[in-house]
Structure 1
Amino acid sequence: MAFTSNQMTKTSDKPGRRFVHAPISFEATIRNTKPTTTNDPSFLVASLRKSACGLSDDFLPALALVCLAFSRMSLSNTIPCSHGVMKVVTRAELQNCDAWGRAFQNRCKDHRYYEIVEETLQNDFEHYYLLLEDSSGNVRAIQPVFFVRQNLVEGVPGNTRSVVDIIRKVFPRFLTMRVLMVGCAAGTGDLGACDKSDEAWTAQALRASLRTYARQNKASLVVLKDFPANYRPSLETFALNGYARVPSMPMARLSLYYENWDDYFRSLSKATRKDLRRIPRGPRAVAIKI
């Protein structure tokens, strides 16, 4: 079971509205400038005067303050949610957090599994953790999330893919979508409530803050990835507020009814047993236990 919410927005760039370009130029400026400098409105006015050509100087101070407020809001790692706040943290910031060890304590994949996944899958994913606090400042949940850039032409026939690959040499992000995934990058998802009774509260807090977080990070889609059916009562708040429930890929399980390796070996065909006997059995052989 997965929930998705489309966050795509349209922008307008009409002739005569030159102030639309000012925030874009401003963002490009602050990336190459010391952070302490960008907090000075006079510096912002000077930067905007260079980029917003044709705009009256009377509007520049007000526009500078708007850009400053926008930049601070977009870079903020704290988002208000229902009856509390959501803080975006990294795994390094969770090392001294006691709640991190309690978030998945009753799951077969506890917090250590998420740490291994982040260390292993670093190239294709951006891993973050949403620390959910109530109005009293108590940490009630820590929810792992990650960003991925989805290829929209995955599985498309070769001729079309060839054309897209040529275009991507110039525009690498052509026909891709940045997606915010809630859950685990390798496996089913779980709510990171520190107590099972807080699962409904956790779902409400996530529902109230995920769209804002996705919008700040320019993600076009929010997905609650592969949550089992037993979470449906808690996650019903998503279905009632603009999210769509989509069936996940079917899970598969293989039961091995064998007492030991020899019992399993006797069940194989003659050709398979012959191939297995060719495998060298030396001191480096791995012991197989069932």
Structure 2
Amino acid sequence: MTGLVARIVDSVAAIPAAAWDACLPGEAEDHSYYRACDEAAAASGTGLRCAAVAIADAQGIAAVAPFFRLDYRLDTPLQGRLRGVADAVYRYVPRLLTLRIICIGSPYADRCHLGFAPWLDGPRRETAMRAIVDALRRQAAAEGAQLVAFKDLAPADDALVAPCLSREGFARIGSLPVAILDLPYADEDGYLASLSAATRKDIRRKLARAQAVRIEHRSDITGLEELIAELYESTRRRSGLDYGELEVLPPGYFAAVSRALGERAVFALYWIGDELAAFNLLLIEPGRVIDKFLGMRYPLAREHNLYAVSWMANVRFCLSRGIVSLQSGQTAYASKLRFGSRLVPTRLHVLHRSKLLQWGLRRIASTVSFDRFDPDLARLPAAR
């Protein structure tokens, strides 16, 4: 580890923004995004705040990553009836199903933002990775955390760091894939032509019945913050999925992100008369839009086919700006696949401080992956 110094800080804000963004260039979920998430969590006293780890060398900050602490329920991947059984066990013996975990990544991102300075070559990058792992191991021991984990590594990042993490003893587990819609089309008709005839007909029928919907795009949501938060929370509760604290946003999240990102955060608002019936939060990058969160008011949204309306509005938004990729997250896979998306796998890497328990974890890793228990993916084995 010669020449590298690891530092754990209480907030992403403690790392200079320029250094952070140099390690993770071009990301909408940048230093200002994570700072906004932290500020919302701190102001409300709820939510999982993101601390950070930074590795420095003689040239400056060489590697960065957010991390958070979580009392993690081992039954979190389970859904439906299996989750009901686990809930019954948890009520009587919560400690049996709960582990304290330090997790690289963020509950507010679908990707593990693990970044390296551009001057690091392959061997130095691996040395920096080992420095991160060592720092987290020490932090876990100091806090009494049993697990260290890397959450939702994208394929390129996973290929980069998986060999190092394997040598360090981590178990590799499947996480939920991310839906991506590629948009190499000149216009909306080109996109629709790429879909099946039945899907194309269904979308056109739903759009024709949605004439009462008024769509507005804005970055400033002053006066609408509570309405937007209410729509998100209502939709989250209706989803039928429960990933615990990993999907709960702190109060004030939407307002904080709006202020921090400015025009890089666009809220697509769907009005029926004077009533806000749905919203999308879109994060904008030069070649990609992240459809970050969706909230709908029921039954109004269903009556006006707002899922299909919002999907097509986002497609038009991208096409009008020459954006070729629409990322729509880790839920509702059946609809997203029908509308032309592909699924990009993500990976977890987990290390238990007990060598014996880590030995067991490595042997059951393939059976406890998140993608095995998602209801949509279970019905779509080819997608899995």
TM-score tier, shorter chain, comes to 0.5 to 0.7
Q: Is the 8 A contact 2:4 2:128 kept in 1?
A: no
Matched residue SS, 1:216: helix
Deviations 1:13-64 (A, max 9, x none): xxxxxxxxxxxxxxxxxxxxxxxxxxxxxxxxxxxxxxxxxxxxxxxxxxxx
Larger % of strand: which? 2
Which residue number in structure 2 is paired with residue 146 of structure 1?
Answer: 68
Which of 117, 120, 125 pairs up with 1:194? 117
Alignment of 1:220-235 (within 5 A): 220-231=146-157, 232-235=159-162
Write the mapping of 1:15-30 to structure 2, written as runs, cut at 5 A.
none
1:246 counterpart letter in structure 2? I
The 5 Å alignment of 1:171-186 reads 175-185=97-107, 186=109
Post-superposition offset of 1:166? 3.8
Q: Name structure 2 gaps, 5 residues minimum.
A: 218-312, 320-384
Report the equivalent of 1:87: 7
Q: How many Å separate the matches in 1 of 2:214 and 2:87? A: 49
* Secondary structure at 2:210 match in 1: coil
The 1:259/1:119 distance shift into structure 2, 3 A limit, reads farther
Correspondence for 1:279: 210
User: Is 2:207 aligned against 1:207?
Assistant: no
Alignment of 1:68-83 (within 5 A): 83=3
Q: Say if 1:244 and 1:261 are closer, same or farther in 2 by CA, change over 3 A.
A: same
Matched, 1:244 2:165: no
- Give the deviation of 1:202 after TM superposition: 1.8
Q: Which runs of 5+ in 1 are unaligned?
A: 1-80
> 1:138 and 1:167, CA in 2 relative to 1: closer, same or farther beyond 3 A?
same
Q: Which secondary structure state, in structure 2, belongs to the residue aligned with residue 126 of structure 1?
A: coil
SS in 2 for 1:224: strand
Structure 1, 245-254 or 124-133: larger mean CA deviation: 245-254
Q: Is contact 1:193-1:199 (8 Å) kept?
A: yes
What does residue 160 of structure 1 align with?
85
The aligned counterpart of 1:111 is 31
TM-score (ref. length: structure 2): 0.44
**RMSD of the TM alignment (CA)?**
3.6
Cα distance, 1:221 vs structure 2: 0.9
Structure 2 distance, partners of 1:191, 1:253, is 20
Q: Using structure 1 for the length normalisation, give the TM-score.
A: 0.56
Q: Is the 8 A contact 1:82 1:208 kept in 2?
A: no
- For this pair of structures, how many residues does the alignment match? 205
